[in-house]
Amino acid sequence: MKGINVIKACRLLIPVNRFYLFIYLVQKWFLFIIIRISHQTKKISIGSSFFLSFHSLFCNYFASLIPNLEPSPVFKRRKTEVDPVSVHPIQPNQTMKRWRTKREHQIYSSKLFQALCRSRRTSSSTSAKELHQTADRVLSITAKGTTRWSRAILAAPLTAGTNMKKHKKAKVTVHTRLRKPVVNREKKKLPVVERKLKALRRLVPGCRKLSCNNLLEETSDYIAALEMQVRAMTAITEFLARGEAQAPTDRLGSIGNM
């Protein structure tokens, strides 16, 4: 487990931290030598035990670096590069303009359409859930990885996860019935605003432990993005629905109006 964490950290570190990597490798080598010597002499000296504790501290330092580094998003269907390190916090004023421009709308619509065509080529039937997931992922890509919710959506696993979540929920409800009612009365003492904030945190992906200010930014961006998603998907749906009934020339005219 430690080894995997360290490898992850090493892969994700930017060039400035090669220094730490070098030190870590040197440490590993020393550790190896000491273990060999202790094996041969059958006793572990004070120095080597000190070294071992220092080594474990260093490993923990590396492990702590990992949550701060954003994982590069893995999107199976396309290879778009999202730079995880350059995170520019977006001002609330910008978010309104950003998601309302026609350009963003066009970018999202075209990407979504491409994704849909590709998915239709690979699998014969697309369920609504898959489509929703695809739309969300394309939306996150359009966000260019600048917001937390977009990164959370891209980092989340594909459809397989949702079935497991349902099982977990069923188990929890059985236990709460067996609990005494005293526990429920204590829970009601939580302030109302806190509870609502908690609910909001659960709704916006990737924001479960976010502070108030950042949550505001994320929420405003998320709402604006969702509105754009609804507009774009409505346009595509209308176009396809109209396309069924009409001739190709009419279809061209309707796209221009979108």
Partner 1 sequence: MSSRRSRSRQSGASRITDDQIIDLVSKLQQLIPELRGRRPDKVSASKVLQETCNYIRSLHREVDGLSDRLSQLLASTDTDSDQAAIIRSLLM
Residues near partner 1 (CB under 8 A) are 92, 106, 109-110, 113-114, 116-117, 120, 125-132, 135, 189, 191-194, 196-197, 199-200, 203-204, 212-213, 215-216, 219-220, 222-224, 226-227, 229-230, 233-234, 236-237, 239-241, 243-244, 248, 251-252, 255-256, 258
Smallest gap from Cβ 130 to partner 1, in A, equals: 8
As a whole number of angstroms, the distance between CA 220 and CA 68 comes to 23
Shorter beta-carbon distance to partner 1: residue 176 or 211: 211
Q: In the bound complex, what is the minimum distance in angstroms from residue 156's beta carbon to partner 1?
A: 15
Min dist CB 180 to partner 1, Å, is: 23
CB 132 within 8 A of CB 155: no
> Between residues 85 and 190, which has the closer beta carbon with respect to partner 1?
190
C-beta of residue 70 within 8 angstroms of C-beta of residue 13? no
Nearest distance from C-beta of residue 147 to partner 1, angstroms: 15
Q: Helix, strand, coil % (nearest 5) of the chain?
A: 75, 0, 25
Q: How crowded is the C-beta side of 2, counted as CA atoms within 13 Å?
A: 8
Residue 112's alpha-carbon distances to 156, 179, 221, 254, 258, in angstroms, are 19, 47, 19, 18, 15
Instruction: Closer to partner 1 by CB, 46 or 245: give it.
Output: 245
